[in-house]
Chains A and B, each alone.
Chain A
Amino acid sequence: MNVLSVDRLRLELVSGETVVDDVSFELAAGEALGLVGESGSGKTTTALALLGYCRPGVRVAAGTIEVAGERVTGRSETDLRRLRGRVISYVPQDPASALNPSVRVGEQVAGVLERHIPSSDVDRVVAETFALVQLPSSSEFRRRFPHQLSGGQQQRVAIAAALVCRPKVVVMDEPTTGLDVVTQANLLEQIAVLREELQLAIVYVSHDLAVVASLADRIMVMYAGSVVEDGPAAPLLARPTHPYTFGLLAAVPDPAEPRTLRSIPGVALGVDERPSGCCFAPRCPQRISACTEAVPPLLSVDDGRRVRCIEWRRTPALVAELRQVAARERAAPLLAVDGLRAEHAERGRRLVAASSVSFEVAPGECVALVGESGSGKTTIARCIAGLHEPAAGRVLLDGTPLASRAASRSRDARQRIQIVFQNPYDSLNPRHRVVDSIARPMRVLRGLSRREAAAEVAALLERVRLPAKLAQRFPSELSGGERQRVAIARALATKPDLLVCDEITSALDVSVQAAVLELLAELQIELGLALLLITHDLGVVASVADRVLVLERGVVCEHGLVVPLLSHPEHEYTRRLVAAAPTLVARR
């Protein structure tokens, strides 16, 4: 019995451009569909359309959507409001902004119920729903405000609000993005239980194949507004038939399988630049002339698999290229951190961010600092870059202790250590052109003239594989991946020996992440650059790091070479992290 059926759905911009085209699928009670795609693929637009909602400027141009026998398309807003929350509901990506900060969480959940089923025993049902999502159901807890809850609890409240009317279908839009791995793993487990208990049909939208793999029965991969492949989860992940799915799987880092990542060449297209034929053709290695002539139909392959590729038979099989992590000779360390202790002052209290942290980075080596949010990893990076004054301990470069503040360090030291920040959207000055941003460190730290610096910018842009014409652009005119490359180019501009990378791929799409990590590995080999990688993602660690330090609440709890550490973690905390990290290998 299908509770959700979508038939040839097409969404358009008011200006006539197609945003999403030809989406058809059916979903039975208790079934979970993973909707996978990168930013701009149309996955969120599609998901919202299931609730009869279109963002301003977007409209349903063709096709039908039916939820539990009720037609969603072509209905008035008033009618749709009766359906939303009762028959089909939505769990948003960021609970911190989805929950009203000035309304108590219990009331927010009760509000949904009162709207649809006013006669019910509100208090009892809300308490039950809280218990269902494993939140304390006490009235004390329900009287709290969103800011008094952790990120995981906030997301559970959002899920409670979505489930309180016991809908047939729940649309979840990246509900675990932004949560720590352990919290994410708990939540995913909980969602699987709920689905079983309530016979929920779930549409799970995510950019993360590994997360989707742990939950979905079926996976639908979207690219540039069309479904490129869809089918049962396990075979799709093991043997992709569309070249994009293949590329995506080759780009996903996996902690259970340390392998070299392969990025997809080229960049994703905007809505207004989609080609006339197959949307993936410009980036496709198996393109033939017929691909660019007409949009290929969704072909049925085998066992319920559909693929939008006329040349799908040529899609290669996935072969994991396992990384060879050679043990290094012990060279004199480039960077040494010795007994570092860092604190934050907050409302007169001292919070310890890191304590007695010691480690070394050899020239040309890649060391990863891994931990959840609040483990102190970013603070350690900031101490090394001279942005945070340590409370105790030393940072040594080539055996010479460094001053705690960047301003008091020698020019040489500042030039040799460079840092790249997490958020590519705020690490470049929006008022400076790319060329100025990259040239500035050369002028300040290497004393180059304006002309000399400008001449080197072109070479650096090529180094990070960006076209030279980007030099004259402003950051707002670049994509996230392009910005992060510019930020890396800016760091490389001083010809550093050590690059501190603070979560530099966490804001990027998987395929873009793979390209950036590929670049880092290349720089490490070609320039002999040492890398200090700060990350929460064990998959990233597995794909690029040589050695790992695991941080738990500011203390290094385990360290060692990447392969033995990830495959045989010894410390309890590391074990928990490794167990919680989403992986694709287990599903194959």
Chain B
Amino acid sequence: MTAIAARMRFARTGSGRVGVTATLLLLALILIGPLVAPHDPAAIVGIPLQRPGSGFLLGTDGLGRDVLSRVLWGGRSIIALSVVATGLAYLVGLAIGLVAGYTRSLLDPVLMRAMDVLLAVPPLLFLLVLATGAGHSVVVLVLGVATVHVPSIARIVRAATQSVVVRGYVEAAVARGERTHSILAREILPNVLGTVLADAGIRLTGSILILASVNFLGLGLQPPRADWALMISENRGGITLQPWAVAAPALLIAFLTVAVNLVADAIARSLGTSLDRRRIAR
């Protein structure tokens, strides 16, 4: 209940409102974009690397496809994949971090050393091996990217949990005999959430970057699919002639990162406060 209230309250602070608006705008763009795109994103419609103008609002890319149409189409896959991968990473990372931080048994070192092993493997190498072994499907890609994030999330959550378990309210819950899962969910999770949210935005950007590099290496989404990450890597070569083919998707990714960070910060700030605080102070 507290969490729901918090969710409704966070959008009322200044930067929270900006973040929510920006996120909604971006969602609208990727949902409505394909409907209003002037051209088929995969069709070659003009001379390669044309600058904006002459019928193409953002110019054309290296093959002569319309950049605007590709931008309007290209948000879906990258945002969906990175959001799902990041979300999944948090789900697993939170669970591992909470359990490892709370338990005083051998489970903690076992879990954390396993995380260290994962952390030691270079992410791209890991994804390459994974893709080679398990195929190029989207599911493998998402699971792979999630796995890359899990160890660092688990470490942060574990550290945050350890500073919370010694608190009086956790002791009070232990003393009244609460079950472990309810202590984790009710007493600890809400108090590590602030720490966790602090890097959620950056981690989402991280997922986008990993996906982009994997795509670039030819393991993820395949051309001629329109995808912001793919677009950046495809059009790198022509950046001096036609910067917009790289700049447009890159700016949108940056916009997404900022929006998500604003929302995450606003949620973190709204935890444990009531909105009528100013009234109380009077």
Contact = CB atoms under 8 A, between A and B. Distances in A.
Given A270-B281, A476-B273, A477-B277, A429 B187 contact: yes
Nearest to B271: A431
A432 B2 contact: yes
A476 B272 contact: yes
A433 B171 CA distance: 18
A406 B177 contact: yes
B2 A431 contact: yes
Q: Name the residue among B169, B187, B193, B271 with the largest chain A CB count within 10 angstroms.
A: B169
Contacts of A476: 272-273
Contacts, number: 86
Interface string B244-282: 000000000000000000000000000111100100111
A319 interface: no
Contacts of A473: 274, 280
A310 interface: no
A427 B168 contact: yes
Interface in A427-470: 427-433, 436-437, 440-441, 444-445
B175 interface: yes
A387 B280 CA distance: 36
A208 to B, nearest CB: 24
A494 B272 contact: no
A386 interface: yes
A429 B191 contact: yes
A477 B172 CA distance: 21
A429 B175 CA distance: 15
A426 B169 contact: yes
A407 B177 contact: yes
A414 interface: yes
Contacts of A419: 171-172, 175
A437 B191 CA distance: 14
B58 to A, nearest CB: 46
Nearest to A431: B190
A385 interface: yes
A207 interface: no
Contacts of B272: 430-431, 474-476
A476 B281 CA distance: 12
A160 B280 CA distance: 45
A148 interface: no
Contacts of B176: 406, 414, 440-441, 444-445, 494
Band of interface residues on B:
20 to 34
A429 B271 CA distance: 11
Contacts of A432: 2, 186, 190
Given A423-B168, A426-B169, A474-B272, A444 B191 contact: no
Contacts of B193: 431
Contacts of B167: 426-427, 429
B174 interface: yes
B36 to A, nearest CB: 43
Nearest to B193: A431
Contacts of A409: 177
Contacts of B2: 431-433, 436
Contacts of A139: none
Contacts of B190: 429, 431-432
Q: Name the residue among A430, A473, A494 with the largest chain B CB count within 10 angstroms.
A: A430
A427 B172 contact: yes
B274 A429 contact: no
B178 interface: yes
B175 A385 contact: yes
A273 B281 CA distance: 9
A490 interface: yes
Contacts of A387: 171, 174-175
B169 A406 contact: no
B172 A411 contact: no
B280 A477 contact: yes
Nearest to A423: B168
Q: Name the residue among A411, A431, A473, A476 with the largest chain B CB count within 10 angstroms.
A: A431
A426 B191 CA distance: 12
Interface residues of A, number: 39
B280 A421 contact: no
A400 interface: no
A429 B273 contact: no
A272 interface: yes
B175 A414 contact: yes
A100 interface: no
Given A473-B274, A474-B274, A429 B169 contact: yes
Q: Name the residue among B168, B186, B280 with the largest chain A CB count within 10 angstroms.
A: B168
A24 interface: no
A472 interface: yes
A428 B177 contact: no
A198 to B, nearest CB: 43
B189 to A, nearest CB: 9
Nearest to B5: A433
Nearest to A415: B176
Contacts of A426: 167-169
Contact of A430 (B1, B172, B191): B191
Nearest to B167: A426
A418 B172 CA distance: 9
Contacts of A433: 2, 274
A437 B272 CA distance: 13
Contacts of A445: 176-177
Contacts of B277: 477
Interface string B172-198: 111111100000001100110100000
A433 B275 CA distance: 13
A272 B281 contact: yes
B172 A490 contact: yes
Interface in A385-410: 385-387, 406-407, 409
A270 B280 CA distance: 12
A263 B136 CA distance: 73
A445 B173 CA distance: 11
Contacts of B282: 273
Interface in B192-234: 193
Interface in B29-54: none
Interface of A: 270, 272-273, 385-387, 406-407, 409, 411, 414, 418-419, 421-423, 426-433, 436-437, 440-441, 444-445, 472-477, 487, 490, 494
4 tightest CB-CB pairs across the interface, nearest first? Answer: A427-B168, A431-B190, A421-B168, A429-B169
Given A387-B175, A475-B272, 20 more contacts: A387-B171, A406-B174, A409-B177, A421-B168, A421-B172, A423-B168, A426-B167, A427-B169, A429-B169, A432-B2, A432-B186, A432-B190, A433-B2, A436-B1, A444-B177, A472-B274, A474-B273, A476-B272, A477-B277, A477-B280
